[in-house]
């Protein structure tokens, strides 16, 4: 199942354990995939937008899919999602929420903002690994995205 991939996966996750497990699972699935890990909301916003709220074209050009946690320090995941989906240049990048929350409110708000998928992180690692691998496979290979 291992495949090579030159595009970038953006992972916005504050929990280092979850981040490491996620990176391991994706890399195991797609060999050579470049995963850019950002540790909080502010870091994520600075990576995508400059001080004038202009998009860093050279950053976003490579992003194939964004895995976004909801509960992030400084800027919450839903705020980042809103900014991404409201901006014409980032609106088309697939964003998948990776969250422990099963709350209706979170799920509804995310979809209202235009999220492309919502995965509740299972506690059991096998289940978690399977969910991440399925999502990564789908968004990196199965699903056809708009080429910029």
- Listed residue (125, 105, 8, 14) closest to 58, CA to CA: 8
Q: Does 64 bind other proteins (CB under 8 A)?
A: no
- Residue in 102, 108, 112, 143 binding other proteins, rule: CB under 8 A: 102
Closer residue to other proteins, CB minimum distance, 63 or 70: 70
- Residue in 128, 135, 139, 140 binding other proteins, rule: CB under 8 A: 128
Place of tokens 């490491």: 20
Instruction: Let me know: does 102 contact 120? Beta carbons within 8 Å.
Output: yes
Q: Contacts with other proteins: how many residues (CB under 8 A)?
A: 21
- Residue in 12, 70, 81, 97 binding other proteins, rule: CB under 8 A: 70
- Residue in 41, 121, 136, 140 binding other proteins, rule: CB under 8 A: 121
> Nearest approach, Cβ of 116 to other proteins (angstroms)?
21
Rounded-to-10 torsion of CA 7, 71, 124, 143? -30
Alpha carbon distances (Å) from 17 to 14, 21, 134 = 9, 6, 20
- The alpha carbons of the chain give a radius of gyration, in whole angstroms, of 14
Which stretches of the chain bind other proteins, using CB under 8 A? 15, 17-18, 21, 24, 70-71, 99-104, 121-126, 128-129
């Amino acid at each position: 199942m291992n495949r090579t991939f030159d595009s970038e996966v953006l992972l916005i996750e504050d929990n280092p354990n979850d981040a490491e497990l996620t990176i391991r699972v994706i890399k195991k699935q797609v060999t050579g995939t470049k995963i850019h890990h950002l540790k909080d909301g502010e870091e994520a916003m600075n990576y995508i937008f400059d001080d004038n709220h202009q998009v860093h074209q050279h950053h976003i050009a490579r992003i194939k899919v964004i895995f976004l946690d909801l509960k992030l320090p400084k800027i919450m995941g839903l705020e980042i999602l809103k900014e991404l989906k409201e901006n014409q240049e980032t609106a088309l990048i697939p964003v998948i929420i990776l969250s422990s929350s099963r709350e209706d409110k979170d799920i509804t708000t995310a979809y209202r903002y235009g999220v492309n998928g919502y995965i509740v992180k299972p506690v059991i690692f096998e289940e978690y690994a399977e969910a991440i691998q399925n999502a990564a496979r789908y968004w990196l290979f199965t699903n056809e995205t708009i080429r910029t």
